[in-house]
Amino acid sequence: MVDDPGARAHAGPSRGALAVAAADQPSSAIALAGDDFTRLLAPTSERLARIHRQQIEREPWPDFAAFERDRYPQGLRREAARHWALRAVAEHGSIHQFSALTRALCEARVGLELLGPLARLITDEVRHADLCARMALACDPEGPQASPRAFAWPTPRAPWSDAPGASDRPRLLAWAASAILIASCLGETISRPMYDALVVVCTDPIAGQVLRQIQRDEHLHAAFGWDALALLWPALDEGGRAAVQESLRRAFGGFETTTACGFTIDQVAGRELTIGRGDAPNLGVLEPAQYAMIFFATVEQELFPALASIGLDPAAAWAGRTLYRDDA
């Protein structure tokens, strides 16, 4: 039966999955044993692994085993690993956000041309999470044991409340527009120049390959958001548009808190942004001031004009933004 390629497999679990069920021990991919990011890569069954790889390996997969760990001091590797692990967790958060958006748009019964790109986005984010987690482990396999808190994988929290039901269509559409605004228009447009800069500063061939794979996708992810938001905007009533404007105000504060690394716009205003490859090794890390300057430049040069072209008021939202501090 198995030897005949024309034969159709009977329905049911694969041998590997059955062995897990028979052993009555939860798979490490499901049991919450430890909560560091390495669980993102926990094995399941051979069959699911194959399907997963077919989904995510669209480009030649980086050869993580070829990463030359000995070329770099441990402190540098651990710091880079921490950044890569945070990226893996953020990419996993994108899967969480885009799948919530997919569900809301299904309930709103929008056309399939909005769902196809979203399905691509979700697959891409799974790939990004996988790539970043493997890069973190390549940099510093001992990191998660040595400092579990620096490599934690907390439960993802969406930056919005749950979507309303389809019976309240105006609110459902406004919810979807806000989610697209936050996760795609803002999130992806901000991350794009970050990856552009990381590609420039990174000196390692494997890390560079990972960065370029992600960078290429983020262009498409932002493009989805801008078109989807422009298409939804005319369907929103006055209350819906006001809700999206309020989401913009809150999101500006949220992104500034998480991306500007504590710098204010005044602190970086007079400084010149230089992104270049230095003599020192770099495994895919920017300086905090570079993150901040890229963030403020992107807000001004890209986000403001794009948001205004749809009908939002970015200047008012920016002026009213609130920063969220851990100690606040």
**Binding residues vs Fe ion (CB under 5 A):** 91, 125, 128, 221
**Encoded amino acid at 56, one letter:** I
**Residue 137 to residue 130: CA distance in whole angstroms:** 11
- Comparison of 88 and 268: residue with beta carbon closer to Fe ion: 88
CB of residue 192 to Fe ion, shortest distance in Å = 9
SS3 category, 288: helix
- Comparison of 131 and 174: residue with beta carbon closer to Fe ion: 131
CB of residue 105 to Fe ion, shortest distance in Å = 17
**Residue 237 to residue 248: CA distance in whole angstroms:** 17
CB of residue 272 to Fe ion, shortest distance in Å = 29
CB of residue 129 to Fe ion, shortest distance in Å = 8
**Strand (E) or helix (H) holding 129:** helix 112-139
Look at residues 237, 265, 266, 249 and name the one whose alpha carbon lies nearest to residue 307.
249
CB of residue 100 to Fe ion, shortest distance in Å = 15
Structure tokens at 307: 């948001």
H helix intervals, the chain: 15-23, 46-56, 74-107, 112-139, 143-146, 169-179, 187-201, 205-232, 238-259, 265-269, 288-298, 304-310, 314-319
- Comparison of 94 and 290: residue with beta carbon closer to Fe ion: 94
- Comparison of 216 and 271: residue with beta carbon closer to Fe ion: 216
CB of residue 74 to Fe ion, shortest distance in Å = 28
Structure tokens at 117: 């790109």
- What's the length of the chain? 328
Cβ within 8 Å of residue 49, ≥6 positions away:
43
- Comparison of 93 and 240: residue with beta carbon closer to Fe ion: 93
- Comparison of 82 and 221: residue with beta carbon closer to Fe ion: 221
SS3 category, 76: helix
